[in-house]
């Protein structure tokens, strides 16, 4: 059996998350509060929801809850995973789990990332459900199309597009007209994992130059490559992640190819568990295997 821990990202957050964890790890909570300058427990448990949904706060809260959930899982089971992976912000929790950096260093990185992403200017995102990413690309490329990027490849028929607000509005209209899928605007304020994040990526690259990352003790699957990180790639892949699509379908496909994969989602909600089930269900049946 291959034990795999996966960590959700922004969007899985909710008021009340982590309530079963904070009391058990007061020393880490105090460290987080000292770094951030506010009570992370108060934010997660009581919000308000508007503040918790602000990128500057959401990412720090999700990282903290994910890291505490991982620590609690290891303390409870005594079992280390064979692989770890996270969706977008969740990749920082995966890197913490693998030993790339300690809890506080990871929170420093996340806080800076969140600030840069929030300051990158207005943007928008929309999910396209029920059609493949290739179909989305064909429609968007027709006649030049709006200036949007594929941001998340979440499942075989769940794709997220990202870009400036006017371009996303045009893309939503075009996709609703020319595909059979459902198109759902997302409640975000930025064009994450797309070309408008390029200035943030450059600033983040300069910031990461001041850090040195430890060799990974557990393989981490990169959002940008859908393959395990190399030890010398940590900073480069974290920079690349800001403007590259989250290749979640391919990442899960790689993990499903491991012997007897056993997934455990750690953090609020079960969004990734649902995506993994969808990806597994749509994988081709190997030749000679009864369906």
pLDDT tier at 283, thresholds 50, 70, 90: confident
Does residue 92 carry a pLDDT above 90? yes
Does residue 190 carry a pLDDT above 80? yes
Residue of higher predicted confidence among 80 and 188: 80
pLDDT tier at 286, thresholds 50, 70, 90: low
pLDDT for 201 equals: 98
Average pLDDT, the chain: 95
pLDDT tier at 105, thresholds 50, 70, 90: very high
Query: For tokens 């496909």, what's the residue?
Result: 253
Query: What pTM value is reported for the model?
Result: 0.95
pLDDT for 290 equals: 46
CA distance from start to end of the chain: 22
Quote the percentage of the chain above a pLDDT of 70. 97
Angle, helix 103-118 to helix 55-77, in steps of 10 degrees: 150
Annotated active-site positions, please?
88, 193
Q: Where are the beta strands (DSSP E) in the chain?
A: 2-7, 83-86, 124-129, 149-155, 158-163, 182-185, 220-221, 261-265
Query: For tokens 């759902």, what's the residue?
Result: 184
Does residue 97 carry a pLDDT above 60? yes
Closest CA to 157 of 124, 131, 184: 131
Give the helix, strand, coil percentages of the chain, each rounded to 5.
50, 15, 35
Name the H helices within 119-233.
133-141, 165-178, 198-208
pLDDT for 145 equals: 78
The mean pLDDT of 156-171, rounded to a whole number, is 96
Does residue 133 carry a pLDDT above 80? yes
Closest CA to 264 of 84, 131, 90, 100: 84
pLDDT for 187 equals: 85
Range with the poorest average pLDDT among 46-50, 128-132, 240-244, 282-286: 282-286
CA distance 32 to 123: 29
pLDDT, tens digit (0-9, with 9 covering 90-100), for 197-242: 999 999 999 999 999 999 999 999 999 999 999 989 999 999 999 9
pLDDT tier at 182, thresholds 50, 70, 90: very high
pLDDT for 157 equals: 97
pLDDT tier at 91, thresholds 50, 70, 90: very high
**Contact status, residue 61 vs residue 52, Cβ threshold 8 Å:** yes
pLDDT, tens digit (0-9, with 9 covering 90-100), for 247-258: 999 999 999 999
Does residue 288 carry a pLDDT above 70? no
pLDDT, tens digit (0-9, with 9 covering 90-100), for 10-65: 989 999 999 999 999 999 999 999 999 999 999 999 999 999 999 999 999 999 99
**Beta-sheet strand order (sheet of 2-7):** 220-221, 83-86, 2-7, 261-265
pLDDT for 9 equals: 95
The mean pLDDT of 133-147, rounded to a whole number, is 89
pLDDT for 196 equals: 97
**Contact status, residue 5 vs residue 266, Cβ threshold 8 Å:** yes
CA distance 172 to 164: 12
């Amino acid at each position: 059996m291959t034990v795999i821990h996966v960590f959700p990202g922004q969007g899985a957050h909710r008021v009340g998350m982590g309530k079963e964890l904070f009391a058990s790890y007061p020393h880490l909570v105090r460290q987080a509060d000292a770094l951030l300058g506010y009570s992370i427990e108060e934010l997660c448990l009581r919000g308000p929801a508007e503040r918790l949904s602000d990128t500057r706060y959401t990412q720090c809260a999700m990282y903290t809850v994910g890291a505490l959930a991982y620590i609690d899982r290891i303390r409870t089971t005594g079992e280390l995973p064979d692989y770890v992976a996270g969706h977008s912000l969740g990749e920082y929790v995966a890197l913490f789990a693998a030993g790339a950096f300690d809890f506080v260093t990871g929170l420093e990185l996340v806080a800076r990332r969140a600030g840069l992403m929030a300051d990158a200017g207005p943007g928008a995102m929309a999910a396209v459900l029920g059609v493949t990413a290739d179909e989305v690309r064909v429609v968007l490329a027709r006649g030049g199309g709006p200036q949007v990027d594929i941001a998340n490849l979440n499942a075989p028929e769940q794709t997220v597009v990202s870009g400036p607000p006017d371009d996303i509005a045009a893309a939503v209209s075009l996709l609703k007209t020319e595909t059979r899928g459902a198109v759902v605007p997302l409640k975000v304020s930025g064009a994450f994992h797309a070309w408008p994040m390029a200035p943030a990526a450059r600033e983040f690259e300069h910031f990461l130059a001041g850090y040195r990352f430890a060799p990974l003790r557990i393989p981490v699957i990169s959002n940008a490559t859908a393959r395990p990180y190399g030890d010398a790639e940590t900073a480069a892949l974290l920079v690349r992640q800001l403007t590259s699509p989250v290749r979640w379908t391919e990442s899960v496909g790689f993990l499903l190819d491991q012997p007897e994969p056993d997934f455990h989602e750690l953090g609020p909600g079960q969004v990734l568990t649902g995506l993994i089930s969808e990806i597994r269900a749509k994988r081709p049946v190997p030749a000679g295997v009864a369906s």
